[in-house]
Structure 1
Amino acid sequence: MVGATTPRSLLSATMKDHTQCGDFQGDLRGKIQSVIENSALVKSLRRRANCLESRPLSLPDDVRREHLVAGLMSGSESIPVTPYSFLEQTQEGYKLTMILYVGPNLSGHPGWAHGGFIATLLDESIARCAFQAMPTKVGVTANLSINYRKPIQLRQYLVVTARTVRTEGRKVFAEGWIEKFQADDDNYEQEILAEASAVVVSLQQVSSEVSLITKCDTPNIAFFH
Structure 2
Amino acid sequence: MALPTQAELDSSLRDFVKRHPAAMELSSSPTSIVLNEVFAIPKHIAKLNVTEGVLRGPHLLRTAPIVIVDNSQQTVFAAFSLGNDLAGYPGIAHGGLIAMLLDEVMGKASLSVLGNASAFTAKLDVEYLRPVLVDDFAVIIAKVSSVEERKLWITGVVEGSDPGVTCAHARMLLIKFKEAKI
Q: How does 1:1-225 map to 2 (within 5 A)?
A: 24-36=4-16, 38-41=18-21, 42-57=23-38, 59-90=41-72, 94-182=74-162, 190-205=164-179
| Partners of 2:103 and 2:124 within 8 A in 1 | yes
Could you say what secondary structure the match of 1:152 adopts? coil
Q: Assess if the C-alpha contact under 8 Å between 1:163 and 1:175 holds in 2.
A: yes
Which protein shows a greater Rg? 1
**Pair 1:172–1:70, CA change in 2 (3 A):** same
Q: How far apart are 1:126 and its partner, in Å?
A: 0.9
Unaligned runs of 5+ in 1: 1-19, 183-187, 207-225
Give the aligned residue type for 2:126.
I
Q: How many residues align?
A: 177
Q: Which amino acid aligns with 1:194?
A: A
Kindly indicate which of the two structures has a greater share of residues assigned to strand.
Answer: 2
Q: Deviations over 1:178-217 (max 9, x none)?
A: 01235xxxxx5x21101110111123458xxxxxxxxxxx
1:219 is aligned to none
Q: CA RMSD in A?
A: 2.4
Cα pair 2:132 2:167 within 8 Å, conserved: yes
Higher percent of residues as helix: 1
| Corresponding residue SS for 1:74 | coil
Residue-by-residue CA offset, 1:60-119 (whole Å, 9 max, x unaligned): 3321121112111111111111111111245xx511111121110111111111111011
SS of equivalent residue, structure 2 residue 137: strand
| SS, match of residue 92 in structure 2 | coil
Calculate percent identity across the aligned residue pairs. 19
The runs of 5 or more residues in structure 2 that have no matched partner are none
Q: Bigger shift: 42-51 or 102-111?
A: 42-51
TM-score by length of 1: 0.70
